[in-house]
Amino acid sequence: MNARIWLRTALGAALAALVLAGCTGTDDGTGKESHRAGHTPAPETGQRSALWQPRPGLAWQWQLNGPVQETADVPVYDIDGFENSAADVARLHRAGRKVICYINVGAWEDYRPDAGDFPERVLGGTNGWAGERWLDIRRVSVLRPIMERRFDMCRDKGFDAVEPDLVEAYGNKSGFPLTARDQLVYNRMIADIAHERGLSVGLKNDLPQIPELVKVFDFAVNEQCAEYGECDRLTPFIEAGKAVFHVEYSGTTRGFCPEARSLGLSSMLKKPDLDPWRKPC
């Protein structure tokens, strides 16, 4: 499926989802939220004059299951880069929204159209999701051209940013002797690829490396920091004026939203399959 991380492997269940339509948004039960945090409507066409920089508290929607459905009135949508078309992105832009392109950069997925581009030597152990295997991120000469083509797709479809998933293989049983340094090199490469194409880029989970990467990435995406008591580790992004899109898959908004609000996170409760349903703070 989409979005997964070491948490998923550890849980053996589903992980995936991001922050809510911003803890500063309001919800009247119909999915409508106020557009805050200095949101500026995205242009539908033309060159980007500067990288989009999402600010703390910006409301958002995260849907990785199927073509996007505009069920939430929020200024940011994070959707699957392969499963959505340029027309889908343009429609969201016409509604004044920014759009993030979800791309798995840490695991091979046998259901993607470019699955045949990955040589067998870079494929490791399974990551707990059907049809997926960890990538040997040390093989940058092999993986960089593939990821460049994927990010070209995001740019050409008109996306404003990229959410690269599975960027903490070094903390998992990948089948390769990966180190934290290997991951830093790879993650910086991923950020460079995005920026070279005029795309903002988010750091997905990978909490231990935030101090080294906060200056390189433009926002953060986190799953379950409240459940694991780790949300305070995301404060470097907030202090840098960069949004933290955060999601929980269990518990109640009453339980995790007070802390999320106090930290400036954009938080919401989502189902693990990341369908359109959401319950924001």
Per residue in 207-243, pLDDT (tens digit) is 999 999 999 999 999 999 999 999 999 999 999 999 9
pLDDT tens by residue, 245-267: 999 999 999 999 999 999 999 99
Do residues 260 and 226 lie in contact, with contact meaning Cβ atoms separated by under 8 Å? yes
pLDDT tens by residue, 145-195: 999 999 999 999 999 999 999 999 999 999 999 999 999 999 999 999 999
Is the four-CA dihedral 237, 271, 191, 122 of positive or negative sign?
Answer: positive
Structure pTM?
A: 0.85
Burial of 83 from C-beta contacts in 10 A (0-12 / 13-18 / 19+): middle
pLDDT tens by residue, 100-147: 999 999 999 999 999 999 999 999 999 999 999 999 999 999 999 999
Confidence category of residue 33, pLDDT binned at 50, 70, 90: very low
List the beta strands (DSSP E) in 68-140. 76-80, 98-104, 107-109, 123-126, 132-135
Tokens 């959707």 belong to residue = 79
Domains of the chain and CATH, by start? 6-27+52-280 (3.20.20.70)
SS3 content of the chain, % helix, strand, coil (to 5): 30, 20, 50
Among 1-5, 107-111, 271-275, which stretch is predicted with the lowest mean pLDDT? 1-5
Helix ranges (H only) for the chain are: 6-11, 86-94, 140-156, 180-196, 210-213, 235-239, 253-263
Q: What is the pLDDT of residue 149?
A: 98
Burial of 65 from C-beta contacts in 10 A (0-12 / 13-18 / 19+): buried
Confidence category of residue 196, pLDDT binned at 50, 70, 90: very high
In this predicted structure, the answer to whether residue 75 has a pLDDT above a threshold of 90 is yes
Amino acid in the structure at residue 255 = G
Q: What is the pLDDT of residue 66?
A: 84
Amino acid in the structure at residue 186 = Y
CA dist., res. 28 & res. 34, Å (int): 10
